[in-house]
Structure 1
């Protein structure tokens, strides 16, 4: 009977760890999506001609692209977590 109880605890621990990992990835993805949306507006607002603003615009475009890449990586991690839980 003891080994059965231990198996249930291990399964519960694994389920809890999966749920926590899933929630953290979901939270990170929401944060990246939010930042990406804000960057979309900033890049549009800074698209006019001025050396300083052009440099800012280029940096914002770069950060926006990297945020999109991170969102893709996080979505892939979330899919891995979901498939591991199945």
Structure 2
């Protein structure tokens, strides 16, 4: 993660880094949201009553939950970037 919060003044390079970091976090959030949305139908479709499929179903639910957590983490990073941009 770029450390632009410690900079006192905003040079054009620091501002470029801030915008680049913000864009990268937004792109990562969008990718994870797309992945999470793609996993939702699989949760329904994999809810069968066989051991192997039940294990797959549990794994898909875990992956969906982990993508949701990562979206939250990246949302926090975006908030931090926005806060740094306002200071």
TM normalised by structure 1 equals 0.86
Post-superposition Cα deviations, 1:4-62, rounded to whole Å, max 9, x if no partner, equal xxxxxx61111100000000000000010000001111111101211111110000001
Uncovered stretches (5+) of structure 1, i.e. residues with no partner? 1-9
RMSD between aligned residues: 0.9
- The equivalent residue for 1:42 is 42
What is the number of residues matched between the two proteins?
77
Structure number having the greater helix percentage:
1
Uncovered stretches (5+) of structure 2, i.e. residues with no partner? 1-9
- The equivalent residue for 1:57 is 57
TM normalised by structure 2 equals 0.85
- Find the structure with the greater CA-based Rg: 1
